[in-house]
A and B are shown apart, each in its own frame.
Chain A
Amino acid sequence: MNGQTQAVKNYLTAFEIIEKQNKNLHPEREKAIQAFAEAGFPDKKNEAWRFTDLSRLLDVDFIPGRPAELNREIKAEIEPYLFTQWKGAQLVFVDGFFSETFSRIPVSPEAVQISTQLSETNTNHTETIPQEDLPKAENAFTLLNTALTRTGVSIRIKKNTNALPIHILSIQTNRAEFSFSMPKNRIHLESGSSLQMIETFVATGETVYFTNAITTIQLDENSRCDYYKMQNESRKANHISGLKAVQERNSVFRAHTLDFGGGLARNNLKAVLNGEGAETVLNGLYLGRGNQHIENHTVIEHAAAHCNSSELFQGILADSSRGVFSGMIHVHRDAQKTDARQSNNCLLLSEEAKIDSKPQLEIYADDVQCSHGATVGQLNEEEIFYLRSRGIGKETARHILTYAFAEKIIEHIDIPELKERAETFFRNKLGEKLHLNK
């Protein structure tokens, strides 16, 4: 059993290794690792981490990953995850390293800039996203990411450009057991531009590793970003992710997160509505089985007037899996005419499954419409009987009804390739022969 101290020491050592290998590290890394050394990992006394058992993460001394050798075997494992009819860029990372072999970057117009190697002098994100603006409770992981990141994507969509969709695919092979990867992505949509993008996290085997990913998206005036994240990591992996969107006037940010994998998976999702008329949609679907632990923590900062936000999270927990949802809506004093809605519904498929749901509203403006609701329930016995009375088996009936619950999120996926894949992941996972209660 590792304690907090040993775990912190491990990442300080990792930093030293990276420092030795790279001469010109950005000073921000040094600052970040020092701050991390002081703060350490959050424990359960920290309100935002009250339900999170980090022991699976702290118990292993994860080491920096190495680029995989792309032999024929690995290639065969990776290929099924690529979108074959994809028009836009497909940026593939294998074991945390950019793979030119699998990636495809169509000759992009000047208006779209993609750079895949975060150069060592390029980790300072303070120019667009001030460090102090990052979610505070996330500091340990955000700091670690800044200190130790070696890969990531930087995308800039120029003014009034409708970019082709971008798929960022991170694949962990089973050669990289016990390694960590800390991608840092930065997306900037200039005014009037639009982008559809997907981040996919998958593993080719059931190995233990640690992903600590950060994506920040800056949306200038009148821009629109449709963001999807599909996480199907190994069931033994630790997946911590931070997503932050900062929105200017009349921008639209629509995010869908789909969580199927991970032993411990935690998404910290934040949208900051800085300009009037901005709109945020934050939807999520998660399916827990075995002893998976899946968390979604959302923060919506309504910092300007006349903005809308809506959140819908549909969670399904089977076996002895556990889910946590916390949703903070913070309406600043000047954010009049805010319309903010939040809903978290959870379906418990077994008596051992458990959800903790915590909506939080902090409203400092007086002319606003805010609502939140949380439901926790089981499959409806009347509905099951109705299906069975027509000859549909009990197990199939349960699957049909569970899928209908998930469909409320899946139906919003506007990218056919992704929708199909999400359906497949969902159905396969639901159909696994673990014990479903009853």
Chain B
Amino acid sequence: MSKYALKPDELKKEFEQKKPRILKGDLAGKEWWDLPVEFRDGNWCFPGKPEVLEEIGLPNPRKWAATDEDWKLPAGWENTIRDGMKSRLKRFRSFKLFMDTCVRCGACADKCHFFLGTGDPKNMPVLRAELIRSVYRNDFTLLSKLLKSFSGSRTLTPEVIKEWHMYFNQCTECRRCSVFCPMGIDTAEITMMARELLNLIGVNNNWILAPVANCNRTGNHLGIEPHTFEQNIMSLVDDIEELTGVTVNPTFNRKGAEILFITPSGDVFGDPGVYTMMGYLLLFHHIGLDYTISTYASEGGNFGMFTSNEMMKKLNAKMYHEAKRLGVKWILGGECGHMWRVVHQYMETMNGPADFLEEPVSPITGTKFTNAKSTRMVHIAEFTADLIKHGKLRLDPKRNDHLRTTFHDSCNIARGMGMFDEPRYVLNKVCNVFHEMPENTIREQTFCCGSGSGLNAEEFMDMRMRGGFPRANAVSYVREKHKVDSLVTICAIDRASLPTLMRYWNPGVNVYGLHELVGNALVMEGEKKRTEDLREDPMAGFGEGADDE
């Protein structure tokens, strides 16, 4: 080392004298991490129930709450976290890279919807990552440990764990910040690692773990048993018949079908997801698709992604297992967000290669989906866009004239897959009124619904309303400017959470799945006169006495 270089003690002294002090008032002179963490009603999610943890074999099952002073962490929890970090730094190169490379430029700071909605500095992605980087530096880099104050290192304490739990559960893994990061840091992956580490010591979220346990047991997040799953869909078949006069014929667990269709279970059980399911059923009937639905691989979503890589892999495995068992050629996937991040970015390397499947080819148009060559799974929006492009659908967009639409890009589809145009193409073919929200709130810059990554818990409602504020604000803009009253999206969590967000911030705006509008617009062979949409709301200009031709 050069004789001119400062010695560590001198460097530390100089830094202490010169470093900027931004905290004022009672916190003057303190470090940023000394800002208190306070759990209150509305800003934390209930922890995993002991029986849920036991069911899926996660450690430290117990009754506790974030507001408790003592979180009943297991003996030796510090070593568990350190060993967990060590193992993950070795196994996940991205994690190691993201711990080392941030230059604190701040480009990400005001891109996070939780920071914009709460103003809490620890919700700036750079600072959220620092929550874990500060421990990483202390425990895994010698120089930083020696220059503790200079490097921003700190010791792992129960307060740090509380802070992690607070802020890594105020990140929806939407990756908007990563779009603006000049170093390419994906904060979502940092959050994923942090949540994995917290799960090692039993610090968790029941809204994530209960669906994981359900999915592990029955194949879907809602814990629907196979017979109920089928009955629900058949009940929607009855609704379709009543509304359109057409009887659609979905099949279940049918060996030898050409295509296996998998969608989030919210489409089979929840409102408004079921209307999107009706749209799929009408579409498949319209084109005479040879498909089947599995009551085992009955969930497109994967809350394992918010728990651990191992859990994500386990829950995802059923898709390929079932495709193999049924002998289908390829898989078609419904409208979902994080499902597509798992499928598009992890499935092939986690549970593939799926050599037993074929490169997807549309049986109707002959289009080869070369982009799905490795996963063998196609997104329904590109499948439908291709059908429309080839003139295979008989559509009457006037049937959606009672809706004035805008489109919410779902984070994982937009930023995780780069799919922006296909859903817009479909939407513009099935409805006549469409207006974009402002440029910096759509496509790759889309704002999250504020409830993704397993944060859609009721008890977290206040924070969800604040995190969803930037999205609601953009909808408010097109509502005032263009009288938009319908927010269309292609994500099941959006369909569950955006109605709530809209009702709070923009009353009068309803939320629709893209294929619900496709279902409205489809002119089916042998249909009766349509006067109502799939929700049984009257269509404009199609009432009694009106001529719909």
Q: Do A and B come from one complex?
A: no
A-to-B contact residues, CB < 8 Å: none
